Chain A
Amino acid sequence: MKDLGFILASWIITLGSIGVLALVTVRRARELSSRVPDEHKPWV
């Protein structure tokens, strides 16, 4: 496949960034959830 480096870079940067944001979000959510009582979480 021609230009594989550019093509792979596009995919890795995109999916990697979304993955990192998802991880950061879940980590922060776990951290905050432990400090906030359940009555303030309408989704529970």
Chain B
Amino acid sequence: MTTGTATTRVIGWIAILTTAWVVVSAFFLTPADVIQGDSVRIMYVHVPTAWIAYLAFVITAVASGCSLVRKHRTLGFDRVAGASAEVGVLFMAMTLITGSLWGRLTWGTFWQWDPRLTTTLFLFVTYVGYLAIRRVDVDPVRRARRSAVIALLAVLEIPLVHFSVVLWRSLHQEASVLNTDGDVRLDGLMLFTLFSGVVAFTLMFVWLVMHRQRLTALSDVERVVGLDASIAARRAEHAGGVRAT
């Protein structure tokens, strides 16, 4: 028996089917944008990966908070926090890469030290650091406590990233959907495809987090079992040595 269950299998299949629909709609059904042309088809991966990365980091912070408060379930919450951050970092990397490709087509450059791009890169690097710190401690309880504090501080960067296009003069466009005036600037089918993309990537995220937090649990158990076996072996060795002398 691995980390899969009936629930993860159902989530996985729905994710695959939803993704297939998004690919068909993004490439063959939705129109090209009046200004950006076909390059707008990158939006259907770029925007969902960005939103799910935000979601992942918020879940990391919430689970970290719970791991600090609910001491009897510290490790369970900590594993969810770690798994969510791992998947969030991957999604954020995809946001940066797809954004860079889209930028080359619309702005004529892969990268600019623009407020949105720079704050997003900073957020990405922060969570890479968070994951690195998680690997420093061998003791799972100490790892949970230390990384929880960092996660609660790191999540404060998200509003800065999201509102960077409003706070500063940015090359990056303002939000077309989650904007401050509540006006949705997208055609009906384009909006539906975008939301289908959000659903597909959310399902992928949930599937990955469920598997990866169970993987961390297995890894922790294996480490503890291995440590116990080593201690028992050393004790037996020592006892044998004492008896021999």
A and B associate in one complex: yes
In the complex, the number of residue pairs spanning A and B with C-beta atoms less than 8 Å apart equals 101
* Complex: chain B residue closest to A7, CB-CB: B41
User: In the bound complex, do residue B214 and residue A18 qualify as a contact, i.e. CB atoms below 8 Å apart?
Assistant: no
**A6-B211 contact given A1-B38, A29-B2, CB 8 Å threshold:** no
* Complex: chain A residue closest to B215, CB-CB: A29
**A6-B101 contact given A32-B222, A33-B3, CB 8 Å threshold:** yes
User: In the bound complex, do residue B215 and residue A28 qualify as a contact, i.e. CB atoms below 8 Å apart?
Assistant: yes
In the complex, whether B227 has a CB less than 8 A from a CB of chain A is: no
User: In the bound complex, do residue B211 and residue A25 qualify as a contact, i.e. CB atoms below 8 Å apart?
Assistant: yes
Q: Which residues of B contact A15 (CB under 8 A)?
A: 19, 45
**A17-B218 contact given A7-B38, A10-B97, CB 8 Å threshold:** no
Size bracket, chain B contacts: 35 or more
Size bracket, chain A contacts: 20 to 34
* Complex: chain B residue closest to A39, CB-CB: B221
In the complex, whether B208 has a CB less than 8 A from a CB of chain A is: yes
User: In the bound complex, do residue B105 and residue A33 qualify as a contact, i.e. CB atoms below 8 Å apart?
Assistant: no
Q: Which residues of B contact A36 (CB under 8 A)?
A: 218, 221-222, 225
In the complex, whether B1 has a CB less than 8 A from a CB of chain A is: yes
Instruction: Point out residues on B near A: beta carbons under 8 Å.
Output: 1-5, 19, 23, 26-27, 37-39, 41-42, 45-46, 49, 87, 90, 93-94, 97-98, 101-102, 104-105, 204, 207-208, 211-212, 214-215, 217-219, 221-222, 225
Q: Can you pick out 28 interface pairs between chain A and chain B where the beta carbons lie within 8 Å of each other?
A: A3-B105, A6-B42, A6-B101, A6-B104, A10-B42, A10-B97, A10-B102, A11-B45, A13-B98, A14-B45, A14-B98, A15-B45, A17-B90, A21-B90, A22-B207, A25-B208, A25-B211, A25-B215, A26-B2, A29-B3, A29-B4, A29-B211, A32-B218, A36-B222, A40-B218, A41-B217, A41-B218, A43-B3
